[in-house]
Amino acid sequence: MSSEQEATKPLAANEGIKSASNFLRGTIAEELQDESTGAINADNQQLTKFHGLYMQDDRDLRRERRQAKLEKAFSFMLRVRLPGGRCTPAQWLMLDKLADERANGTQRLTTQQTYQLHGSRKGNLKPLIKGMDEALMDSIAACGDVNRNIMAPPNPERSAAHAAMYDHAKALSEHTLPKTRAYHEIWLDGEKVAGGEPEVEPLYGETYLPRKFKVGFAIPPSNDVDVYSQDLGFIGVVENGELVGYNVTVGGGLGMSHGNEETFPRLAEPLGFITTDQVNAIGEAIIATQRDYGDRTNRKHARLKYTIEDRGLVWFRGEVESRSGITFSDTRDVTFTTIEDPHGWHECTDGTWFYGLHVLSGRIKDREGWPMKTALREVAQIHTGDFRLTPSQNVTISGVTADAKAEVEAILAKHGLDGENQQTRLRLNAMSCVALPTCGLALAESERVLPEVLEKFDAVLEEAGLSDDAISLRMTGCPNGCARPYLAEIGFVGKAPGKYALYIGAKYNGSRLNRLVSPKCTVDEAVELLRPVIKKYATERQDGEEFGDFCDRAVLPEDATFHSVGSGLRI
C-alpha cells in the first residue's frame, strides 16, 4: 500500500483479516470441528478462499429453509489448482470419485482451466482435500488475494514452442505459490510449524496482495486464454519454430459493478519484450509492484488494472524494470486470429493425437441421454496420456496413440457423445458462468439458461443462413465477468432475475471489448433486438468480416460507449 493511501483512508476489512490470520490459518481448524452448523464465520470465509474453498449456500432452497426455520443449506465450492489445466487420468478418476462421494456429483470445468466441485458439506472438506492430495493435487491459492491458477495453451505437444511455454507457466505458478504451511496443517494434518519459528512469505508478506491476480500465457495465432483479460499476460514470440521470448502485457481485468462507472473492464497493455529466461523475475517484480502500490482501501479498486490506470504504464514499467534489473525491449509483432478451442482429433508433433471435446458450460454430469461423466470416466480408465482443461470450459483428451484413437471414439460413441462436436460453432464457442444456484453474487441465471439462449440464437442464425459462422456468445449472471462476456461478440450480463445488460461488438480474437446495446432486457427482447442485426450482417458484411467487427463498424452508434448505449443502432 502506498503511504498516501495509508494516511487518508482506512484499510479494507480484508486487510485486517489477513494480517491477523497467522498466515491464513485463522480459526478454520477449530471451526471444522463445530458440527452445530454447516457454516464458518465471516473472517474464515475470506481465509478459506486462499485454500481454494468458498462457502456458499443453495439459493434454490433459501425460501424453503427459511420457512422451516433452518439455517441456509450451506456447502462449499472447491477450486483445484491446475497450472495450464493439465491432469492425469488418475487425477481425473479421483475427482470423479470425490465429486460423487464428497460433493454434488458433478465436476465443473472453469474459464480458468481448472475444476470446481460444488456442494461439499463442511464435514466432507478434509476427506476431499486428502483425496486430492493422494492424487497429487491441491487447491492452494486457487482463490484469494494471490496469484491464481496460471493459464496456458492446453496442448503442449502441438509444437516445441507450446511445450516450452507450458514449462514457463508451471514454473511461474510454483514460484509464486504462498509459502505458508497453513494448508498442510489444516487439511492434511501436516506437522505444525514449530513454536516460535516465524513463517515468512517472501513475495506476499502477511497481507498477501490487495486483490486476486491472474496470469495467462498465449501463443499466437490462438488467444484461447483471452490474454488481454489477465492482470499479467505473456504472449509467446516464435521465430523459426522456437519460442524466443514474450511480449508482456499488464492491467487486464473484467470485473465491474452495474451503475458504478468507476469500475470497468479493461484490456491489458504491452509493457515490452523479454526473453524466456526472464519470466519468473519479471512476473515477481510485477506482482511485487502491485503488492506495494495496489489500493488496499477499496476492494472494488484494488486490481492491477486500477493501479496502472491511476499511475500510468510508463511509471509501472519503470518500477518493474528497477525491481527486476531487466530492461524491456520493444514489443514484437504478433497476430491473434481466434479464441476458439480445437475440437475433434489433431495430430501433435510427438506423433500422438489429442481430441478436443466440447462440454457445454464445462458441466460434467450424467444427464438422460447425455452421460458425459460416465463417458469421461471410462476414457480415463483406459487412457495412457492425460487430460487438458481448456480456457473455454472444454476438455482435451491428450497424448492418445494412433492405436488408442478407436478405443476413445468407441467409448464416446457408446454413450452418444460422438456428435458433441458436430454442433453449430455458436454453441461450440459459447460460455456461461455458474451463477445460480451456488453463486452468492448471481443476479440472474446463466449456466441453467444458456441452452435456451443458444436454441433461440441458433434459430436466428439459421434463418439468416449463418449456421456455420463462428460467433462468440457468452453469458454471466452478474457483472463480475466470470465467463469473460465483455470479450464476446454477443455478451449477456445478468442484472436482475430474467434481465440482462446486452453488449455486442467485441473482436473475435479477444482484443477489443464490446459495447452496451441494451442496459436491461430479457433474452427474448435481446433476440428481437439482434435479429435484424444478424440479418444485416448476413447480407452486408464485407469479405471475411467477423460479426463483432461488423457490429462495431456498421451497427453500433458511434457515440455508444462501454457504459452507454448511445443514439440507437444503425439498422
Near ligand SF4 by CB under 6 A: residue from 476, 509, 514, 518: 476
Give me the sheet containing 515-521, strands edge to edge: 431-432, 473-476, 490-496, 499-504, 515-521
> Under a CB-based contact definition with an 8 Å cutoff, are residues 276 and 258 in contact?
no
Gyration radius of the chain over CA positions: 23
HSE (side-chain half, CA atoms, 13 Å) at 396: 29
End-to-end CA distance of the chain: 49
Contacts of 140 (CB under 8 A, 6+ apart): 50, 51, 52, 81, 177, 178, 183
Pairing label, strands 490-496, 473-476: parallel
Q: How far is the CB of 54 from ligand SF4 (least distance, A)?
A: 10
Q: How far is the CB of 482 from ligand SRM (least distance, A)?
A: 3
Q: Does 180 bind ligand SF4 (CB under 6 A)?
A: no
Q: Which does 438 bind (CB under 5 to 8 A by kind): ligand SF4, ligand SRM, none?
A: ligand SRM
Instruction: Give 461 or 487: the residue with its C-beta nearer to ligand SRM.
Output: 487
Give me the sheet containing 115-120, strands edge to edge: 53-57, 74-79, 115-120, 107-109, 363-364
Near ligand SF4 by CB under 6 A: residue from 450, 478, 502, 569: 478
Q: How far is the CB of 143 from ligand SRM (least distance, A)?
A: 7
Q: Does 98 bind ligand SF4 (CB under 6 A)?
A: no
- Single-letter amino acid code for the residue at 21: S
Q: What residues numbered 100-119 form the site for ligand SRM, per CB under 6 A?
A: 110-112, 114, 116
- Residue 569 backbone phi and psi in degrees, to 5: -70, 145
Q: How far is the CB of 365 from ligand SF4 (least distance, A)?
A: 17
- Residue 91 backbone phi and psi in degrees, to 5: -70, -40
Q: Does 477 bind ligand SF4 (CB under 6 A)?
A: yes
Q: How far is the CB of 139 from ligand SRM (least distance, A)?
A: 10
Q: Does 480 bind ligand SF4 (CB under 6 A)?
A: yes
Q: What residues numbered 442-471 form the site for ligand SF4, per CB under 6 A?
A: 442, 446
Give the catalytic positions in this structure: 79, 148, 212, 214, 433, 439, 478, 482
Q: Does 435 bind ligand SF4 (CB under 6 A)?
A: yes
Q: Which does 112 bind (CB under 5 to 8 A by kind): ligand SF4, ligand SRM, none?
A: ligand SRM
Instruction: Give 61 or 313: the residue with its C-beta nearer to ligand SF4.
Output: 61
Q: What is the Cα–Cα distance from 32 to 10, expressed in whole angstroms?
A: 32
- Residue 89 backbone phi and psi in degrees, to 5: -60, -40
Q: What is the Cα–Cα distance from 476 to 432, expressed in whole angstroms?
A: 6
Q: How far is the CB of 479 from ligand SF4 (least distance, A)?
A: 7
Q: Which does 149 bind (CB under 5 to 8 A by kind): ligand SF4, ligand SRM, none?
A: ligand SRM
Q: Does 54 bind ligand SRM (CB under 6 A)?
A: yes
Near ligand SRM by CB under 6 A: residue from 186, 282, 433, 487: 433
Short-list 391, 321, 383, 328, CA closest to 355: 383
- Residue 444 backbone phi and psi in degrees, to 5: -150, 170
- Piece of 196-204, 346-354, 474-482, 556-564 that binds ligand SF4 (CB under 6 A): 474-482
Pairing label, strands 215-218, 232-239: parallel
- Piece of 57-65, 267-275, 287-295, 479-487 that binds ligand SRM (CB under 6 A): 479-487
Q: Which does 534 bind (CB under 5 to 8 A by kind): ligand SF4, ligand SRM, none?
A: none
Q: How far is the CB of 563 from ligand SRM (least distance, A)?
A: 15
Q: What is the Cα–Cα distance from 185 to 193, expressed in whole angstroms?
A: 8
DSSP string, 446-475: -TTTHHHHHHHHHHHHHHTT-TT----EEE
Q: Which does 303 bind (CB under 5 to 8 A by kind): ligand SRM, ligand SF4, none?
A: ligand SRM
Q: How far is the CB of 482 from ligand SF4 (least distance, A)?
A: 3
- Single-letter amino acid code for the residue at 147: N
Q: What is the Cα–Cα distance from 298 to 546, expressed in whole angstroms?
A: 39
Q: Which does 477 bind (CB under 5 to 8 A by kind): ligand SRM, ligand SF4, none?
A: ligand SF4
What is the contact surface with ligand SRM in residues (CB under 6 A)?
A: 54, 56, 77, 79, 110-112, 114, 116, 148-149, 212, 214, 226, 229, 253-255, 303, 362, 393, 433-434, 438-441, 480-484
